[in-house]
């Protein structure tokens, strides 16, 4: 019964926000911003995408770093600013940002700013 109640609250919340179409638009904006930062990191040689652009997930952004030391720094620095659970699946490795419906645009801004700062710092070291 509780799960049905929580589902009702979620549906009411999304209807108040404009329904499925508005949710889709918000998620499209979030995923586009994270993938833009990822692509910047790929171009800088800091990140390497694991998925071809046409197959990218809207909800789970996955990538690897140029080496294990960089990945360790990335995870440590992410933890320091409150980004938790970004280590990829144990069988796949790398990094995974989950940007599900409950992740706000403000939280995505934090992810993107962190990624860009990390890219800048890694490029400066090279």
- The DSSP-derived string for 12-59 is HHHHHTT-HHHHHHHHHHHHHHHHHHHHHHHHTTSEEESS-GGG--SS
Mean pLDDT of all residues in 28-54: 94
Distance CA 120, CA 44 (A): 9
Is residue 50 pLDDT above 90, yes or no? Answer: no
Q: What is the pLDDT of residues 16-35, one digit of tens each?
A: 989 989 999 999 999 999 99
The pTM of this model reads 0.89
- The DSSP-derived string for 41-53 is HHHTTSEEESS-G
Q: What is the pLDDT of residues 63-113, one digit of tens each?
A: 999 999 999 999 999 999 999 999 988 877 899 999 998 899 999 999 999
């Amino acid at each position: 019964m509780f799960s049905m109640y929580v589902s009702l609250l979620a549906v009411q919340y999304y209807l108040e926000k404009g329904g499925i179409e508005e949710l889709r638009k918000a998620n499209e904006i979030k995923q586009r911003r994270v993938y833009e930062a990822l692509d910047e990191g790929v171009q800088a040689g800091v990140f390497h995408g694991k998925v071809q652009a046409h197959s990218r997930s809207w909800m789970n952004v996955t990538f690897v770093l140029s080496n294990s030391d960089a990945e360790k720094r990335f995870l440590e620095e992410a933890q320091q600013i409150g980004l938790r659970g970004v280590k990829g699946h144990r069988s796949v490795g790398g990094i995974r940002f989950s940007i599900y419906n409950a992740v706000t645009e403000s939280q995505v801004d934090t992810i993107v700013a962190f990624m860009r700062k990390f890219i800048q710092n890694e490029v400066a070291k090279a």
